[in-house]
Structure 1
Amino acid sequence: MVPAVCLPKEIIRGPVVSEVDVDTPFGIVTSVITTRSVDELELKVGSEVVALVKSTEVSIARL
């Protein structure tokens, strides 16, 4: 895994899942997470997050 501190550029909310586009040192990465997770993490455009990139998934965590 390669953790990277980054900023969400866009959050497209859906009824069940949401797309979170984050600006990383490696470019824009899009993660699909549950809308419930977006709410629980209180994700907002511009809030600092950590993106963990594994070969099978991309995870987002609020700092």
Structure 2
Amino acid sequence: MKLSARNVIKGTVVDLKTGPVGAMVHVDVGGGTIITSTITAESVSDLGLAAGKQVSVIIKSSSVMLAVD
């Protein structure tokens, strides 16, 4: 598969919280960093996601916001 996105980070699913419609998927990308993605429950099933599964986190955004106190 080829993608236009350049922000592709490999990681491992460490936790899933699935509801009736949506799911929160927590992915360990190394160095103590966890990325959380909200996807549909149907996508969790279609992708066969479970703790321990290797995945690629793909980030495509038109803007990135930063904040400081």
Pairwise TM-score range, normalised by the shorter structure: 0.7 to 0.9
Count residues in correspondence: 56
Whether the 8 Å contact between 1:10 and 1:20 is mirrored in structure 2 is: yes
User: Deviation at 1:15?
Assistant: 0.2
Counterpart in the other structure of 2:49: 43
| Identity in percent | 34
What TM-score do the two structures reach when normalised by structure 2? Answer: 0.74
Letter aligned with residue 13 of structure 1: T
More strand by share: 1
Tell me how far apart the structure 1 counterparts of residues 11 and 60 of structure 2 sit (CA, whole Å).
16
Runs ≥4 in structure 1, deviation > 4 angstroms? none
Tell me how far apart the structure 2 counterparts of residues 2 and 44 of structure 1 sit (CA, whole Å).
23
**Which structure has the bigger radius of gyration?**
2
Given the alignment of the two structures, is residue 10 of structure 1 paired with residue 15 of structure 2, yes or no? Answer: yes
Q: CA RMSD in A?
A: 1.4
Specify every segment of 5 or more residues in structure 2 that has no aligned partner in the other structure, as ranges: 1-5, 63-69
